[in-house]
Structure 1
């Protein structure tokens, strides 16, 4: 017996409603009343499109339809929003509030393929779904052409997938504005303090508190990457601490520590992964890349701090592999975003280190013959991720042409927006990339 019944009417706009459809819906509601135990009445929900709320000739179409459908014994809730994703997510929240995990969906046969895909993206295996045909007495060709086309759609658009991701994950990258840090190179929203970067801990704590309020996460469940020693080396720093880098561009991911939340925490770690709801994980960056990872299918996420040496060590693929191993993620479902970081316009390394990037991809190095070539650590990260199986279209970096969508800005080139060690020197501030799975 279903504990909730969802009647999918989303594809029907106000112009689609007629007597036959109304009779079909009423008949379905009556059948639910007759089939279910009166002492255990299910939560019944009608899923409708926002267009039904549009006013025509001063009348609310949805209100008029609901007056027809509602009867003395018919109790149901109507949920409508601007798109299918938002409507289903609202319904999911209602199910969670009522502690319901078993749902019968009544819908037209044409809508089933796309609905199953929406459900697989938005719900985990904890929920159990049963699908039943909604019998509409009128012929399909009596419906508007746009309705018929939507019914036959089998796959989700990229726009729908993006909306799904936004409903599942809370995520973002900070800038240097909005905080209370007062040392010039740290002002004003620095999020890291150390003996070398002497922003008072109380100031950093207050900055984080402000971020948590503005972004909507709990400061009590916030965890940031605790970088390995080589990641703490400034970009371009050479000398006694230089790593012995692997002899192959297809790096040995096992050399990088990733903390799997719920397991023992390493002394230091370059990445974090979790599938726990309400926990916010973060990666710092000030020239180094804060990298965020999300799998909307298995509901898991990750964060990594990728400096130039961490990039060569394969920190990003280490996080991807941890998500695959720990949470059963499919590499083709994992989405990756590279945050603000130093661009190839501003970052140089000595010839010896530049060779390592050249071996990954010659396009990662500019002016290769010079003593200090320009290095593109972002491109190197993309090449290594693609080599590990991450789909090219699932990686967002500075290749995004739409400036409104590009978050991989050069930290050195944007002094008003970001901190940069390359530009600011030793006492530089830190911004972060953060992500969490919404409750």
Structure 2
């Protein structure tokens, strides 16, 4: 069932833009006639002329809405200087109401253009269908017609212009939930390495569970790649790295490691490099973002260590890659465990808990229960130490420093961090990042 209708009047001539109430009657009548018991929300997208003021769009529509009682409270006119600004505003309205199925009614000539905007600003969570909108010859009415099926593509230069328009608009948006904050470790020498762990503040993501500096996009979440890219751009400015030389692990919850400069695997949870100026990163939203630094050989690594990756030894696999590829001595490698879900909050089914109990019984609390509490950080430390990493070269503030300046529990701090365990499926993601300074 269609949950929302978007009427695109953005390309209408200026004289018609200023008198949309007369144009809309027929369109609204058609929408109401084809609506089921719950009328859809209707958004009318119009062009705001440069220098004009927004004044009483909703009020000016009241005469047109007199006969459409079911739509009156569900219709909003959105005026903006650009299509990107109008469509992003409408996306916010859809997300506020958790709407996903949208019918777009627009002039046939605009369809291929609109699809490019939709592809960039929305994810696969949303479903779009299109119908043609035609202005009658006397320019006094709008009519809806079945969409023509022929597919066209937009020239590459036009797609580039749309991308530029979207990027310019997103860059103009204010940061949400305060300033962008980066947590840094005193263990990693800052004369050799640039590094940090992000928190959730200082980005533009507005959906509550993603707000505000979400750094991961997927087809199952509502934050598109362009928003994540803008969050990353702001992080790069604050941290001082080049966002165009940035590589994030491709999570598979295993122990594969990508050696930069070699063939990149389809998926991997660890990444290592000795290239200067290249920033590598591992995400986390309960799983541990782990950073590795060797100031002697000037090499670094990052790993994503969830409970599966921890059991499979992804952290030691990352260490071993640094040793074999760059000649690192295991005793020189520094390891920092970033914000992650703590043993205070994290539970697993009993069968999975058994594997952690084998590593060390102290990794499991309430072992005999159906869902024991698990300490994936302790398991990671034990596996690193058994692989030759010196205990003093591992930073886990939940043990070594009760002030917790790095290894916070993500589930316990909703103001600072995202948490899949706490927030559910539409969760945001923070990262740990590191690079070798030029």
TM-score, normalisation: structure 1: 0.57
**Alpha-carbon distance change, 336 to 163 in structure 1, aligned in 2, over 3 angstroms:** closer
Structure 2 residue 393 is the aligned partner of structure 1 residue 388:
no
Question: What is residue 126 of structure 1 aligned with on the other side?
Answer: none
Alignment partners' CA distance in 1, 2:211 and 2:334: 32
Identify if the C-alpha distance between structure 1 residues 224 and 335 changes in structure 2 by more than 3 Å, giving closer, same or farther: same
- Partner secondary structure for residue 166 of structure 1: coil
1:308 maps onto 2:290 in alignment: no
Distance in 1 (alpha carbons) for counterparts of 2:425 and 2:241? 31
Task: Please name the residue that 2:414 is paired with.
Answer: 415
1:234 corresponds in structure 2 to none
Q: For the Cα contact (< 8 Å) 2:292–2:301, is it kept in 1? A: yes
Does residue 206 (structure 1) correspond to residue 230 (structure 2)? The answer is: yes
Equivalenced residue count is: 254
Match of residue 192 from structure 1: 216
Query: Which one of the candidate residues 184, 190, 193 is aligned to 1:169?
Result: 193
Return the offset for 1:256: 2.2
**Comparing 274-283 with 398-407, which one deviates more in the overlay?**
398-407
Distance 2:402 2:233 in 1: 29
- Is contact 1:259–1:269 with CA below 8 Å preserved after alignment? yes
* Aligned equivalent of 2:435: 436
Per the alignment, do residues 195 and 163 of structure 1 end up closer, same or farther by CA in structure 2, a change over 3 Å counting?
closer
How does 1:237-252 map onto structure 2 within 5 Å?
none
The CA deviation at 1:202 is 1.2
Partners of 2:268 and 2:324 in 1: CA distance: 17
Shift in Å at residue 191 of structure 1? 0.4
Decide whether the 8 Å contact of 1:358 with 1:364 is kept in 2: yes
Partner of 2:279: 280
Distance 1:318 1:214 in 2: 31
Distance 2:390 2:412 in 1: 29
2:245 pairs with 1:221: yes
Q: Which residue of 2 aligns with 1:103?
A: none
Structure 1 position 173, deviation (Å): 0.2
Deviation at 1:406, TM superposition (A): 3.1
Residue 397 of structure 2 corresponds to residue 373 of structure 1? no
CA distance in 2, matches of 1:162, 1:396: 9
Deviations along 1:125-165, one digit per CA (max 9) or x if unpaired, are: xxxxxxxxxxxxxxxxxxxxxxxxxxxxxxxxxxxx96882
Distance 2:227 2:362 in 1: 41
The structure 1 segments of at least 4 consecutive aligned residues displaced by more than 4 Å after TM superposition are: 161-164
Indicate conservation of the 8 Å contact 1:169/1:438, yes or no: yes
Q: Is residue 280–residue 436 contact of structure 1 (8 Å, CA) maintained in 2?
A: yes
Q: How does 1:21-420 map to 2 (within 5 A)?
A: 165-228=189-252, 231=253, 256-403=255-402, 406-420=405-419
Alpha-carbon separation, structure 2, partners of 1:218 and 1:383:
35
- Equivalents in 2 of 1:364, 1:404: separation in Å? 21
CA deviation profile, 1:100-122 (whole Å, cap 9, x unmatched) = xxxxxxxxxxxxxxxxxxxxxxx
Residue 10 of structure 1 is matched in structure 2 by none
Shift of 1:257: 1.2
Instruction: Provide structure 2 residue ranges, at least 5 long, that are not aligned to the other structure.
Output: 1-184
Q: Output the TM-score relative to the length of structure 2.
A: 0.57
Q: Contact 1:331 / 1:389 at 8 angstroms: preserved in 2?
A: yes
Cα separation, 2, equivalents of 1:284 and 1:216? 19
Q: For the structure 1 residues 438 and 203, does the alpha-carbon distance in structure 2 shift closer, same or farther, using more than 3 Å as the test?
A: same
Query: Residues 22-43 of structure 1: CA distance to partner in whole angstroms, max 9, x if unpaired?
Result: xxxxxxxxxxxxxxxxxxxxxx
Distance 2:417 2:301 in 1: 22
Residue ranges of structure 1 left out of the alignment (5+ in a row): 1-160, 232-254
Q: Distance in 1 between matches of 2:314 and 2:335?
A: 13
Pick closer, same or farther for the CA change 1:400–1:372 going to 2, 3 Å: closer
Measured at CA, do residues 272 and 163 of structure 1 come closer, stay the same or move farther in structure 2, by a change above 3 Å?
closer
Between the aligned partners of 1:347 and 1:309, the Cα distance in structure 2 is 14
* 163 and 434 in structure 1: CA distance in 2 versus 1, 3 angstrom threshold: closer
Deviation at 1:399, TM superposition (A): 4.1
CA distance in 1, matches of 2:413, 2:187: 29
